[in-house]
Amino acid sequence: MTGAGRHVLEVEGITKTFPGVVANRSVSFDLAEGEIHCLLGENGAGKTTLMNIVFGLYRPDEGTVRVRGEEVSFSSSADAIAAGIGMVHQHFQLVPTLTVLENVVLGAETVRHGVLELASARRTLADLSDRYGLPVDPDALVGDLSVGIRQRVELLKALYRDADILILDEPTAVLTPGEVDEFLSTVRELVGMGKSIVFITHKLREVSQVADRITVLRNGEVVGRTTPAETSEEELAAMMVGRQVSFTVDVGTSDPGEVVLEVSGLVVDDNRGHAAVRDCSFAVRAGEIFGIAGVEGNGQRELVEALAGMRPVVAGDVRLRGRSLLGLDPRRIAELGVGHIPEDRTRHGLIGAFSVADNLVLNRYHRPPFARGLVRRRSEVTAHAEELVATFDIRTPGVDVPAAQLSGGNQQKVVVARELSRPLEVLLVAQPTRGLDVGSIEFIHRRLVEIRDRGTAVVLVSAELDEVLALADTVGVLYRGRIVASMPAAEADRHRVGLLMATGSEAA
Amino acid sequence: MTAPSLRRRFVAVDRVRALGAIYVVFGLVLLMRVAPALPDDPERFLFGTGPDALAWTFRPSTTTVVIASALVTFGALALVRSGRLVSGGLVLGGVLAVVMLLVASLALSPNKSTNLVPLFIQSLRLGSPIALGALAGMWSERSGVVNIGIEGMMLAGAGIGFVAYALLNGGAGGLPLYVAVLVAVAAGGLFAALHSLMSVTLGTDQIVSGVAVNLLAIGLTSFLRSQVLVPLNADSATTLPELSIPGLSSLPIIGDLFSAKPIFFLTFVAFGASAFVLTRTRWGLRVRSVGENPHAAETLGVDVMRVRYQAVILGGCIAGLAGAQFSLETVGSFDDLMTNGTGFIALAALIFGKWRPWPVLAGSMFFGFARALGVRIQLLNVEVAGFPLPSQFLQAVPYVVTMVVLAGAIGRAIPPAAIGRPYRRPG
Ligand SMILES: Nc1ncnc2c1ncn2[C@@H]1O[C@H](COP(=O)(O)OP(=O)(O)OP(=O)(O)O)[C@@H](O)[C@H]1O
Ligand SMILES: [Mg+2]
C-alpha cells in the first residue's frame, strides 16, 4: 500500500439538508493520490449523500469541493466525469433493457456523424476486462445478469470513462466471499495503477484489509479519523453506532418440531429458460433455521422465487404442512403464512414511490385492521408504521416519506420489518443483512433467532458463509441447483462447507 | 412487485388458452351453423384485372369447412399448449378468420368475385397515416413521455399547414404546397414542444397535458378554419402530385403500389430512418436509456430533460407530417376534426407493436387493413336473408377480428419502464 501523495480530492465544511433531515453537517474529508480511503458509518449516516455531492448529483447547501487543488462546482455528473471522477453507486444505475456494452458507453459514446461506433468501444471494454480481471459478455442484456456481474459492469463503466478518482459505494455488499476477495485485489491493483479510491463499506474485515485511512460518519457528522494500524474492528464498530456491538449473536439451542416445509424434486428455470434448480429436495422443521450455503448463481435466486410463488415450477413439489403450494400466486402463498425477504429489495421488496408506512403493510393493506371492506384505514397504517420504525430503528424523517428517499440500509430494514412483524409458518430470507451496518446486523440476527424460537421454519439464503454458519441449525449446500449435502450446524465447519460449495462433493 | 418477465409467463398461460377456446368455439359454430347455411354459388378471388389476372375459384361451403377445421385444430393445440407451434397456429388462425370474413361476405353478396390487390394496396394507403402517428408516439414514449396528444398534433399539422397553403397562393400548388408541408411539420413540433413544456419541465400529469394539447388543437384549427379558410373560400386545393417509381410501378399485378403520393412513400423512409436512429446512434441510445432508467442516465451525465424534449418534439414533427397527409396530400381542403381519431388508433398500433419500429409499422398496417376491409365489405352489399347488414356493423367487424388476433397472438406489451413519470433532478 502506498503512502499519501498530494490530495486529489478535498471536501470542506459540507452541509446538506433534506426535508426533515440533516444528511451532512459540516463534513470535511480528503483523498490523497493513490490511497484507499474508507468511509464508514451506520445506515443513514450520510455517506452516500456526501459522495453524491462530490459526484455532482446533489448540490451542497454549504461547503466546498476541490479536485486536484482546484475548487469545483459541478452542476451535473457530466462535470464530475469530465474531472476524472467515477462512481459505482450503491443502487445500480443500469438500464436493464440495454446490453452491457450499451450501458458502458452510455453518456461517453464514440460516434462518427452521430452513429455509434461500438466496434472500438467493444475493444476498449475487452481490454479493460482483461487488464482488471473483470470478464463480462458485452452483448448480454443487463436485466438478465446476476447482481455480482452487474457490479462488474458498474465498475467497468467508471473505468471506461478513465476515472482516476473512484468512489465505490458499498461495492462488496452484493458479492460472495470469493468475489469479494477478487474484488479487493482488483481494487488494490487499481490503486497500483495510480487511481485514488473512496471505499464505502459496512464490512469491517474489508476495511482492515484495504484501507490506508478511515473516516467515520455518524448522524451526518465526522466522528473519527483513523488508520487500520491504530484501531480494531470493535473500536470501529463502536465509533460507528455509538455503543458496543457484539459480532456474534448467541443463537442458543433450537428445538425443532415437525416438518413444515417440504421441497421435493424441484426443477425451476431461470429467465432464459435453462434449468437453474435441478431436482432439489429438502425439508425444514418448525423452529429450525435451514441455512443454504452456496456460491451465488447456483440457483439460490430461482429457488427462493419459486418457493415464494414468483416463478413457475417446472417439476417437483413444494408442500406447506402437507399442502401443495404449486400454482398459487405470491399473495395467496403469503397469506398462508409464508414470509419473504427478497434478495433485490429495490425490485421485489419495495415500491420506492410509496410511503414508508404503505410499504410496511404491502402484503396486508387490504385486510383488517388496515382496511375495512374496501376502505383503507390510514390511522391504523400509520400507527403500525410508527411502531415498526421504532422497534427496527428505521432512520426516516417520518412514515409518510417515499421509501426511495431512505438510505440503502434503512430501505432493507423496512422490508425486514414488514415480514417479521406478522405470525409466520415459514420465512424465506435471502441476503437479509446485505448493506446493513454492524449494529443492524446484530439486531436482525437476533430477530431471526427469535422468530425461530417462536416456531417458524426459516429458510436462510446468504452469500455470507459466516452468516449461514452463525445462524443455521442445519446447513444445506446448494451446488448447481441441487442440495448436495445437508448437515447439523455442529458438523458444518468452514472448510468442509467451502469444499462442498466449490466442488459439490467432499472428495477433493 | 413481481418482475415483469416472471409475471408475463403466468399471464401467457391464460391468454393463450383463452384465445384457443375462442378459436375452438368459433370453429365449431362455423362448422355446424355457418357452413350449411351459406349460399353455395362458386366465388372468385381475383388478383389484378384484365384477362391475365390470377384468379382462385372455390365453393364457400368447402372452404368454410376447411377453415373451420383448421381453427378448431389450432385452438385445441393452444388449449393443451402442446408443441412449439402454438403461437404460430394462433396467428395463422387469425389470418384464416379474416379470409373467412371475406368468403362469407362474398357468399352473402350479389357479387361473386372480388379483386384483392386493390384491397391490399388500400390497406397500406389507409395504414400510412396511422403508422406515422404511431411513429410519433414511439419517439415520445420511448423517451418516457406518454403522448395521447398525437391526435391533436396531427390535427394542428393538417389545419395550420393548410391555412399556410391557402394564404401563400390560395391552394394553387407548386412550391407553396411544399412550404405548407413544412409548416405542418413545424406546427406538429410546436404542439409537441407545448406538451414537453407541460409534462417535462412543469411536471404536469402527462395524460392531462396530452388532453390539453388535443383540445387546444381542436379549438385553434376550427377557429382558423372559420376565420381564414372560409373567407378565402379555400376548399378545393391542388394536392401533392402522384409519383411513380420507374420500373417498379410497371410491374404486373402489384405495380399500382408504386404509384403514390410523396408522404405515403415518406412513411416507409421515416420508419427505416427511425429504426436506424433508435438502435444505432448516440442520440437513439440516450432516448432509450432515458425512457427506461432516467436516474442511471443522469449519473452518466445525460441531460434527461433535454433528450425528452428532443424526442417529444421529433415525434410532434412526424405527427405534423401525418396531418399534412390528410389536408395537403389526400383531400385538398381542411375540415374540423379531419383526422377523425387516427391519432388514437395510432396509439393502439404503438402498443401492439410494443414500441418497436418495425412491429409498430406492421401493427399500423393491420389497422389499415381493417379499415380497407370494412369499406370493401360495405361495397359488396352483404345481405342476410334479404336484409342488408348495417354499415357500422360491417365497419366494426374487421376491427374486432384484428383486436382479438393482435391481443391474443402478440400478448402482453411491456412499456418503457419510466413512462409517464416526470423526472426531477435529485438534491
Ligand atoms: N434524495 C433524498 N431525499 C430526502 N432524504 C434523503 C435523500 N437522500 C438521502 N436522504 C436522507 O439522508 C440521510 C443520509 O442518507 P445516505 O443515503 O447518505 O446514508 P448512508 O450513509 O449512505 O446509509 P446506508 O449505509 O444505509 O447506505 C438519510 O436519513 C436519508 O433518509
Ligand atoms: Mg448509502
Same domain, A60 and A21: yes
Distance CA A1, CA A227 (A): 13
B5/A271 Cβ within 8 A:
yes
- Cα gap A385→A507, rounded to integer Å: 51
- pLDDT higher at B211 or B404: B211
Terminal Cα distance for chain B, rounded: 27
Cα–Cα distances in angstroms (integers) from residue A168 to residues A197, A488, B319, in the given order? 7, 38, 45
Find cell 481494487 and name the residue.
Answer: A187
Crossing angle of helices B304-324 and B116-142, in 10° steps, is 160
Least confident of A112-116, A172-176, B142-146, B293-297: A172-176
The reported pLDDT for the residue numbered B412 is 66
**pLDDT for residue B386:** 73
Nearest one of A71, A82, A77, A73 to A57, comparing CA atoms: A77
User: CB B296 to CB A93 under 8 A?
Assistant: yes
Of how many residues is chain A composed? Answer: 508
Is some CB atom of chain B closer than 8 A to the CB atom of A324? no
Cβ of residue A413 lying under 6 Å from some atom of ligand 1: no
pLDDT at A401 over 80: yes
Going from the Cα of A416 to the center of ligand 2, the distance in angstroms, rounded, reads 18
User: What's residue A280's pLDDT?
Assistant: 92
Q: What is the CATH number of the domain that holds A293?
A: 3.40.50.300
**Co-location of A69 and A178 in the same domain:** yes
Residue A74 lies in a domain: yes
Q: Whose CA is nearest to atom 3 of ligand 1?
A: A405
- Provide the grid cell at A391: 422497534
Instruction: Write down the pLDDT at residue B319.
Output: 98
Q: Which three cell numbers stand for residue B422?
A: 416526470
Q: Is residue A432 part of a domain?
A: no
The model's pLDDT over B153-170, given as tens digits with 9 standing for 90+, comes to 999 999 999 999 999 988
In this prediction, residue B409 carries a pLDDT of 64
Choose the closest CB to B3 out of A52, A76, A348: A348
A314 at B interface, C-beta within 8 A: no
Q: Enumerate the residues of chain A whose CB falls inside 8 A of the CB of residue B286.
A: 106-107
Out of A213, A241, A269, a domain closes at: A241
CB A172 within 8 A of CB A206: yes
3-state SS class at A7 = strand
- Alpha-carbon gap: B359 to the closest alpha carbon of chain A (Å): 18
* A93 to B426: CB separation less than 8 angstroms, yes or no: no
Largest CA distance in chain A: 70
pLDDT at B37: 85
Same structural domain, A318 and A348: no
Residue A147's Cβ-side half-sphere holds a number of Cα atoms within 13 Å equal to: 25
Q: Is A281 on the interface with B (CB under 8 A)?
A: no
- Ligand 1: does its nearest atom lie under 6 Å from the Cβ of A48? yes
Query: Is residue A17 lining ligand 1, measured as CB closer than 6 Å?
Result: no
Is A177 found in the same domain as A59? yes
Q: With bands split at pLDDT 50, 70 and 90, how would you rate the model's confidence at B105?
A: confident
Nearest CA to ligand 1 atom 1: A405
ipTM of the complex: 0.83
Asked which of A241, A259, A291 is the last residue of a domain, the reply is A241
> With helix as H, strand as E and coil as C, how does B188-237 read?
HHHHHHHHHHHHHHCCCCHHHHHHHHHHHHHHHHHHHHHHHHHHHCCCCC
pLDDT of A63 reads 94
Query: Helix count (H) and strand count (E) of chain B?
Result: 16, 7
Query: Band of the pLDDT at B376, cuts 50, 70, 90?
Result: confident
Q: Report how far residue B327's alpha carbon sits from residue B337's, in angstroms, rounded to the nearest whole number.
A: 11
Q: Per the domain annotation, does A303 fall within a domain? A: yes
Identify the band that residue B408 occupies on the pLDDT scale cut at 50, 70 and 90: low
Domain count, chain A: 3
**In which residue ranges of chain B is CATH 1.10.3470 found?**
117-364
Question: At a CB cut-off of 8 Å and minimum separation 6, what does B7 contact?
Answer: none
Q: A439 CB under 6 A from ligand 1?
A: no
Q: Touching check for B300 and chain A: CB below 8 Å?
A: yes
C-alpha cell at position A230: 491504530
Is the domain of A139 the same as that of A99? Answer: yes
Q: Cβ(A159) to ligand 1 under 6 A?
A: no
Alpha carbon distance B376, B118 (integer Å): 10
| Cβ atoms A486, A280 nearer than 8 A | no
Q: Strand, coil or helix: what is B41?
A: coil
pLDDT confidence bin for A125, thresholds 50/70/90: very high
Burial of A156 (C-beta count, 10 Å sphere; 0-12/13-18/19+): buried
At residue B411 the predicted structure's pLDDT band, cuts being 50, 70 and 90, is low
Angle between helices B175-196 and B150-169 (to 10 degrees): 150
Whole-prediction pTM value? Answer: 0.83
Is residue B189 packed enough to be buried (19+ CB in 10 Å), middle (13-18) or exposed (0-12)?
buried
CATH of B117-364, one of 1.10.1740, 1.10.3470, 2.40.50, 3.40.50: 1.10.3470
Residues A225 and A267 in one domain: no
**pLDDT at residue A137 tops 60:** yes
Least trusted range by pLDDT, from A199-213, A336-350, A390-404 = A336-350
Q: Spell out the residues 6+ positions from residue B57 whose beta carbon is closer than 8 angstroms to its own.
A: B42, B43, B44
* Residue A211, pLDDT score: 94
- Taking the C-alpha atoms of residue B253 and residue B245, their distance in angstroms, rounded to an integer, is 15
Contacting residues for A78 by C-beta, under 8 A, at least 6 apart: A56, A107, B300, B301, B302, B303
Q: Which chain B residue has the Cα nearest residue A91? A: B296
* A361/A298 same-domain check: no
Q: Is residue A443 a part of any domain in this protein?
A: no
Domain that holds residue A279: 246-337+457-508
Cα Rg, chain A, nearest whole Å: 23
Compute CA distances A121 → A82, A149, B280, whole Å.
18, 19, 14
**pLDDT per position as a tens digit, B235-257:** 778 889 988 888 888 887 777 88
A47 close to ligand 1 (CB < 6 Angstrom)? yes
Query: Chain centroid to CA B395: how far?
Result: 16
Best mean pLDDT range from A391-400, A416-425, B66-75, B379-388: B66-75
Count Cβ atoms within 10 A of the Cβ of residue A59 and give its class: 0-12 exposed, 13-18 middle, 19 or more buried.
Answer: middle
Give the domain-ending residue among A407, A422, A437.
A422
Asked if B160 and B152 count as a contact pair (C-beta separation under 8 A), the reply is no
Q: What are the tens digits of pLDDT across the range B268-314?
A: 999 999 999 999 999 999 999 999 999 999 999 899 999 999 999 99
Which of A58, A102, A106, A167 to probe by mutation at the B interface, max B CB count within 10 Å? A106
- Looking at the partner chain, which of A81, A95, A311 has a beta carbon nearest the beta carbon of B301? A81
In this prediction, residue A457 carries a pLDDT of 94
Nearest CA-CA partner of A302 in A276, A323, A325 = A276
Q: What is the pLDDT of residues B337-364, one digit of tens each?
A: 999 899 999 999 998 899 999 999 998 9
φ and ψ at residue A87, rounded to 5 degrees: -135, 130
Shortest CA gap B288–chain A (Å): 8
A87 and A207 share a domain?
Answer: yes
> pLDDT at position B1, please?
35
**A111 domain-assigned:** yes
The verdict on A111 and A146 lying in the same domain is yes
Amino acid at B317: C
Question: At residue B364, what is the residue type?
Answer: S
Minimal CA separation from B186 to chain A, in Å: 23
- The closest alpha carbon to A215, from A387, A85, A35, A432, belongs to A35
Average pLDDT, chain A: 88
Contact A77 B2 (CB under 8 A): no
* H helices present in A375-505, as ranges: 378-391, 408-420, 438-453, 465-471, 494-503
By CB atoms closer than 10 A (0-12, 13-18, 19+), residue A367 is exposed
The pLDDT assigned to A496 comes to 87
Mutation target vs A (from B277, B282, B289, B314; most A CBs, 10 A cutoff): B282
Query: Is A58–B426 a contact, with Cβ atoms under 8 angstroms apart?
Result: yes
Q: What is the CA radius of gyration of chain B?
A: 24
Does residue A135 lie within any of the structural domains? yes
- What pLDDT sits at residue B313? 98
Same domain assignment for residues A19 and A69 = yes
